[in-house]
Structure 1
Amino acid sequence: MTAPPVGPGTSLIPRPERTPAALRAALARVAPHRLGEMERQQDEAMALAALTDSLGPITRFLENWTVVVEIARTPATAARLRAAEHTARSLEPADPAWRAAMDDIHALHTTARESLSHG
């Protein structure tokens, strides 16, 4: 079986529900290399929620990983983020290209959050 063609703006998977299980399943399809990171952050969020008697850490965890999946499910957007992150890691903050990369990272995250609030 061959995968369907994926062009710019095409999503690899449908947008998942905002639950740990749905986000984990989606991440396994679009960015499996990040599953360990997600599991660690989920454990940290649960521990902090119990410690503070607040659901805030769990809500933030879900919001963060919903944005990660939203970006990763569109190959062109994911590639743009990877390129910007690479540039940001490779250059000094005094370099104008570093600032441009950081601005792009911020814009990608903002756009993903906005699309989630409208979708």
Structure 2
Amino acid sequence: MTASTVGMRGSVPPMPERTPKALRAAIAQHTPKLLPDFDRNWREKIAETYDLAPVPAFMARWWAEFALARDPRLESEVHRLEDEAAAATDNAHAKSLVEQAGRLRREASKAEPGQ
């Protein structure tokens, strides 16, 4: 997702610095519905284990979650595709829909800080 792509989507908040603290602050400010799950996941995977090894995977997951949730139209489209795939009776069509949703999720997760 390029800066120009984000600009075309309206007032999508920029991606924060790529740190847990900055990501949490951005989630709290712009997508607070994600905050309880973010905090729970942080406690379970990092804080309660005192293990920093999972931090890169944690950041990758939550970077992608925020990148998608910060753009309501994109998030809605991904969920529509996933819902349509779940209801599809044709496996090929369902697979195609899931692949489309996955591509949109991956593209959103490529956003860099400030974009």
> Fold match, TM over 0.5?
yes
Which whole-Å CA distance do the structure 2 matches of 1:46 and 1:9 have between them? 34
Q: Which deviates the most, 101-110 or 39-48?
A: 39-48
Structure 1: which 4+ aligned runs deviate by more than 4 Å? none
Which whole-Å CA distance do the structure 2 matches of 1:21 and 1:114 have between them? 19
* Residue 101 of structure 1, CA deviation: 2.4
Which whole-Å CA distance do the structure 1 matches of 2:91 and 2:11 have between them? 33
> Which stretches in structure 2 are left out of the alignment for 5+ residues?
1-6
Instruction: Give the alignment of 1:80-95 within 5 angstroms.
Output: 80-91=77-88, 95=91
User: Could you tell me whether the CA contact under 8 Å between 1:49 and 1:57 is conserved in 2?
Assistant: no
Given residue 100 of structure 1, which amino acid in structure 2 is its aligned partner? S
Residue 36 of structure 1 is matched in structure 2 by 36
Give % identity.
Answer: 29
Q: Which deviates the most, 37-46 or 107-116?
A: 107-116
User: Could you tell me whether the CA contact under 8 Å between 1:48 and 1:57 is conserved in 2?
Assistant: no
Residue 74 of structure 1 is matched in structure 2 by 71
* Residue 48 of structure 1, CA deviation: 7.6
| Structure with the larger RCO, 1 or 2 (CA within 8 Å, 6+ apart) | 2
Instruction: Give the alignment of 1:1-119 within 5 angstroms.
Output: 8-46=8-46, 50=50, 53=51, 55-91=52-88, 95-116=91-112
Q: Which deviates the most, 41-50 or 107-116?
A: 41-50
User: Could you tell me whether the CA contact under 8 Å between 2:67 and 2:108 is conserved in 1?
Assistant: yes
CA pair 114-91 structure 1, distance change in 2 beyond 3 A: same
Which whole-Å CA distance do the structure 2 matches of 1:73 and 1:64 have between them? 14
Secondary structure of the equivalent of 2:59? helix
Secondary structure of the equivalent of 2:54? helix
Number of residue equivalences: 108
CA pair 68-96 structure 1, distance change in 2 beyond 3 A: same
Which whole-Å CA distance do the structure 2 matches of 1:101 and 1:48 have between them? 38
User: Could you tell me whether the CA contact under 8 Å between 1:15 and 1:70 is conserved in 2?
Assistant: yes
Residue 3 of structure 1 is matched in structure 2 by none
CA pair 88-47 structure 1, distance change in 2 beyond 3 A: farther
